[in-house]
Structures are given as C-alpha cells and as structure tokens.
Amino acid sequence: MSREQLARRQAALIAALHGTGPVPDGFDERLVRAAADALARKRAGAVAMHWPQLRHEFGPKWTDEFRRWAVGRVGHGALRDGWDFARTYVDRLGEGARLELAEREVVWRYDGVRPPRRRWAPALRRVGRTVLVQIGGRVLRLGRARV
C-alpha cells in the first residue's frame, strides 16, 4: 500500500470516527461505531470539566445533547468546543451557564474560527442583573446573580 493510499484510508477512518463519513471498507462497522461513541463521550466529559455550569444546565441529558451537537464537527479542544456549544444553545441556557459563558467572553476574544486570545483591554458583559467586568485580567461581578 502506497503512502497516498494509506493516508486516504486513515482520513476515511477519522471521518467515520467523527461521524462525517461512512465506515471504510475492511473495518468492522460495529467496532468503529463503538470507538466513535467512546470518543464522543470522552469529548463530552472533557468539555464538562471546562464548562461545569453548562454541563449542569443539561443534567443527565448532557452527554446525549453534546454528542448530537458534535456529530460532524471536528473537535478543537474542550474550551472551544464548550464555547461553540454554549453559543449554539445560549437561548436555552439558565443564568449560571450564561454567566459562565459571559465570564469567558470578558477574559478571552473568540470569533468562532481562530483560537481564543486573552483580552488586554477592559471588557463588559451583562447577564440578567449581573454585570461582569474584566480589568487587568481580573473579573469582577457586580449586581446579584441568582445562581
């Protein structure tokens, strides 16, 4: 098998594991699907560690909701995956998860494409009756959160 053929087979297997392509010939479909399921659960667990309020918001449905969202999306790390997920469901989130998202957004710049970069200028976000202010790398919560 040439390097090009091997590279194509590897790319096809990765696509199948991400849910963006069929299981390549010569692979046991049941085993590939089991591996894809395990990787999706691992990814959901990593995001949950970085975004505890977001995970709490979905309760026992977290893993299924995240996996449904993640199908066809290549992972970019737990921080970015959680951020993208939270932005997708922001209208469904309660105050705790929205505060968690707002806190990330006052500390980091993230456009959904490039990796997050730390903010140097002051930033401000409002969630309900709470205002988050980032000045000099410190985040201050003003008002009262009902979390």
Of 18-22, 23-27, 104-108, 115-119, give the lowest mean pLDDT range: 18-22
Q: Mean pLDDT across the stretch 1-13?
A: 91
Is the pTM higher than 0.85? The answer reads: no
State residue 18's pLDDT score.
Answer: 84
**Is 18 contained in some domain?**
yes
In a domain? residue 11:
yes
Report yes or no on 36 lying in a domain.
yes
3-state helix, strand, coil split of the chain in percent (to 5) is: 55, 15, 30
pLDDT digits (tens, 9 = 90+) for 25-36: 999 999 999 999
Residue range 36-50: mean pLDDT, rounded = 94
- For residue 145, what pLDDT band results from cuts at 50, 70 and 90? low
| Whole-number pLDDT of residue 30 | 94
Domain count, the chain: 1
Domain that holds residue 64: 3-93
**Do the domain assignments include residue 110?**
no
Q: Is residue 35 a part of any domain in this protein? A: yes
Determine, yes or no, domain membership for 57: yes
| Structural domain contains residue 67 | yes
Closest-CA residue to 72 (of 112, 15, 19, 17): 19
Q: What pLDDT shows up at residue 60?
A: 96
Name the helix (H) or strand (E) containing 32.
helix 29-50
37: in domain: yes
